[in-house]
Amino acid sequence: MGGTAIFFAAHVAIELAVIIRAVLRPNRDPASRIAWIVVVAALPIFGVIAYLLFGEVSIGRRRVARLREVIKQLPPMPGARASDEANLKAVYPQQYEHLFRVGHSISGFDAIGGNSARLMADSNSTIDSMVADIDAAKEHVHLLFYIWLPDNNGRKVVEALKRAASRGVKCRAMADGLGSRTMIRSEHWREMQEAGVLVAVALPIGNLLIRTLVGRVDLRNHRKIVVIDGRITYCGSQNCADPEFLVKAKFAPWVDAVVRFEGPIAQQNQHLFASDWITYAHENIDNLLRQPIPAARAGFAAQVIGTGPTARHSAMPEMFESLIYTARRELVISTPYYVPDESMQNAICASAYRGVDTTIIFPSRNDSWIVGGASRSYYSDLLAAGVKIYEYEGGLLHTKSLTLDGEVTLIGSANMDRRSFDLNYENNILLCDAELTGAVRERQQYYIAKSKVITRDMVAAWPVRRRFQNNILAMLGPIL
């Protein structure tokens, strides 16, 4: 047998092995299996390499084992003082009980009452509010951001942490190794350490070649968590950066929504932060997790939902779909990245078909042309079902929000795409409160007022080339 024949036989054997591995891989929908089989079979060598680099959801066996061991050993949520038990009881209409049951099945947190909150006015006021809370902190400050830039707002938070550390407040700051690499490599990161701020890197990359061999580089910690003194927390879509977002300035401003919470829900975010902190900083902070829940006043029910590639498969889609199917009068969604699986697309269409006033708001210009094109491939079916589609024209709409029937809100970091479903660590808060949901709904209406409406005639008029490109991008969704 000649050298060429041996090489061909070896290549075929490798391709078959990779195809068999793709077929046998657990927690993968059929569309993803088929897509990878086509890529591996149709693109010799390149297809095999692509699958080995991006075909499986793994951050590395050691990291998976470490994170799961940390979560297993975390103490349970602390109890309440007897005088506070009535305020901490989660009160909400019975028709929403199943939503909080789904949330509990994901993160293990019960819905908890006694919370109050306000929706921040804009990105700059959010940072100013965080800085004010850090300046008022008495015990500890915990931060975790996917993207933390050394720009004006990023440096404001750095300086606030340094001030807090100088007066004896225990400050812990964590940032994603890829999204925040500019900050981590900057003098500001070193200055925080020198000032006494404890810092850690989530999912550090290290040697790029070695990292690609042991786990996917593009699996990231996409969470945005701020917890202050165990009683204040922030949740939303905003990274620690200016709205001008200089790394992608041509899409600016980035338009986000963040909610500042006070109450027991902060303790749940504390647990979520701790799972990441203990994993990567190797500092045990169980003592903070065992402290009784601070005294609470009467307030609304809320629940933290944390997902990721080491959590239950399909957790985030299950949460989204449960909310979508629960809507009876109105469903409004804003998301910058929409690459759904078939069941989620069907759920949204079914919402409109059964008479629910269903609206989705997308950005008009997306920083990812791939995701933007893939998103538009779904417009025709959504519009045919009666879904109202708007494209926001006042910048890159980055807000991830869902409101239903004027009572329930889901807000946080998760997009409605496969990256948030399968690849990224995300954090959201589910809440039931008419007043706060009304504020979020007003913000969504503001987005609509600054948007162009997308009609069936507009989509039908797109040239064949554009529709072909969008559909091809959507077909690649299962492997992106």
Which residues are marked as active site? Answer: 222, 224, 229, 398, 400, 405
Token pair 């949520």: residue: 77
Both tokens assigned to 177: 């190794």
Instruction: Please report how many Cα atoms fall inside a 13 Å half-sphere around the Cα of residue 200, on the Cβ side.
Output: 21
CA distance 132 to 249: 27
Give, for 473, the enclosing helix (H) or strand (E).
helix 464-475
Cα–Cα–Cα angle for 224, 229, 230, rounded to 5 degrees: 70
Q: 427 - beta bridge partners? A: 306
CA–CA dist 357, 382 (Å, integer)? 13
Q: Terminal CA-to-CA distance of the chain, rounded, Å? A: 39
Q: Which of 343, 232, 221 is nearest to 277 (CA)?
A: 221
Residue 413 DSSP one-character state: S
CA-based radius of gyration for the chain: 23
DSSP string, 152-175: HHHHHHHHHHHHHHHTT-EEEEEE
C-alpha distances in Å from residue 378, one per residue of 244, 331, 346, 355, 373: 29, 18, 11, 20, 9
Q: Which residue has the tokens 């039908």?
A: 460
Could you tell me what percentage of the chain is helix, strand and coil, using 3-state DSSP and rounding each to the nearest 5?
A: 50, 20, 30
Q: Are 272 and 304 in contact (CB under 8 A)?
A: yes
